[in-house]
Amino acid sequence: MSDTIGRITVPTVINSGQTFPLTTQYPFGFSVERPVIVHRFGSLDAKQEQRYYVGIGPRKFQFKHPNLNWAEGRQLRDFWESMQGPWQAFTYNVPNPDGTTTSVLVTFEQTPISFEYLRNAVQVGLNLIEVVDPTAAPTYTIASTCLRFPSSGLSTALLSEVQQIVPLIHMRVRESAVADIYLSDRRVTVGGQLYLPRLIGIGEPGSDVLISQDIKGTSDNVRLTFGNGDRVMTQFANDTDLKYGEIDLCLFHVNSGILLQLWKGVIQNFTSDGTPIFPVTCSDGFFQIMNQYPERQISRQCWKTYNDGVNCPWATRGRSSAAVTAAGGDPASCDYYLESANGCQVHGMSPYFGAHQADPQGVVIKDDSTGFLGFGRNTVTATSIISDTVWGLALPEIWCNSGGNPLYAFLATALMVDYRDESGYADSLGILSAGPLGGFTASMVVTNADGYRYVVAPMVDGYLWQGLKVDGNLNVTKYQPGYQGSKTRSL
């Protein structure tokens, strides 16, 4: 029965049934790559450390033959091509010290392979990787389980000079039809559950730090790297939605049989770029509540889905297809800008534009700093100044109701979009909140229960709007509601 990751079948290694045609020269042997993680203690001036092997790795057999004749070189080349590089497995007779050989199923490690041709010889060096028999995978029984922190038994076992720790990954995507995924850095059965060999790295490349945590309240970030040479992880990501799926990391201590449930979080991102690795970035469960809220940002690009019938009802409220085509647009799509060649104005959907367009506007005014007693003033053109720092800021959301009582009014600071100096007055445009807003509290001076008096009214740079004036004691000296020009629009 084939292994599966989700609904994707993991291809098995194809055994060609052939035997490697050449024999290695002395010295011969094999190697096992076992990366080391160093755990440094704070005692002894941080000079005390403990080292852990990561993974067992397959055996690698080095083939050495520095003086192949040309016929043997062609024979090796033809054999490599018939195996399609590392795609198929074959039998390699491994020499033993007593002169005998042992048959081992292997594949080529290198792709491509390089030959160095001399005048009368060919030099080549390559490694052969053992194909581990799945039926020989170890099986372990869980004696006890620890949650995040080691028990006294595990703490004692971790002080041993010889120990073996197996990382175990469990993934649960949001689609209920996809079965849970269990992966590790080797094929192993722990507590009756089979873990498939797929994990090739934990943490950032080149670092021996697996998980970094602090007490500042920031989310934990964990990077897991899975093998993707057979493109199984890419197919898995295309088959279902990995983002925001649950993932947890456990460590099984083989020597004591104790399982440490170390960390649990959610998948935030992954990368599938055609390389043989598939990195996955994860964060802890607090990541969601640490996110920026509100999620929308001040942007020139509309957030709505074109012609969805809800937020953008172009089919019923916009221009006809013929009118859009005549204006140079495409009735089947939108580029989500207001004044672009295929934007909201072309489609006749300007009232439904869901972004923030800011264009400098000019107005002709009389300069109060010139003339005499208001006569003979110079005429100038005042132009709006657009804020370049507002784009990308979070778009606020206001959820409150004063109930008609100005004491309960919510005082909010608008995000300034543009400002125009009109000599004795100022004209400004700001974003107060995502809409719709039902209304504003009428401008007035109010007194709270403690006798503190304050103004509830729109203000720019500390100045009230044109139709409202108060003296130093907050007594209203002028109130003309018709001068108030605030407008709102749903974003």
Residues 229 and 313 in one domain: no
CA angle 15, 21, 24 (to 5 degrees): 110
Using pLDDT thresholds of 50, 70 and 90, give the confidence band for residue 211.
confident
At 388-403, the pLDDT tens digits run 888 888 888 888 888 8
CATH number of 25's domain: 2.40.30
The reported pLDDT for the residue numbered 83 is 84
The reported pLDDT for the residue numbered 319 is 93
Residues 270 and 327 in one domain: no
Structural domain contains residue 393: yes
Residues 459 and 383 in one domain: yes
The reported pLDDT for the residue numbered 329 is 93
Residues 339 and 408 in one domain: no
Among 265-279, 363-377, 393-407, the minimum mean pLDDT is found in 363-377
Residues 302 and 402 in one domain: no
Residues 315 and 349 in one domain: yes
Last residue of a domain, one of 133, 152, 187: 133
Last residue of a domain, one of 290, 316, 335: 290
Quote the number of domains for the chain.
4
Residues 42 and 17 in one domain: yes
Identify which of 73, 74, 79, 130 has the alpha carbon closest to the alpha carbon of residue 105. Answer: 130
d(CA 112, CA 128): 13
Length of the chain: 491
- pLDDT over threshold 60, residue 486: no
Residues 51 and 142 in one domain: no
Structural domain contains residue 282: yes
Task: DSSP letter for 482, please.
Answer: G
Q: Which residues contact 187 (CB under 8 A, 6 or more apart)?
A: 132, 134, 137, 194, 195, 196, 197
Structural domain contains residue 490: no
pTM over 0.75: no
Residues 279 and 334 in one domain: no
Residues 158 and 272 in one domain: yes
Residues 187 and 279 in one domain: yes
Structural domain contains residue 267: yes
At 59-116, the pLDDT tens digits run 888 877 777 777 887 888 888 888 887 778 889 888 887 778 888 888 888 767 777 7
Task: DSSP letter for 204, please.
Answer: S
Domain of residue 99: give its range.
4-133
Strands (E), 109-178: 116-117, 122-130, 139-140, 144-147, 165-172
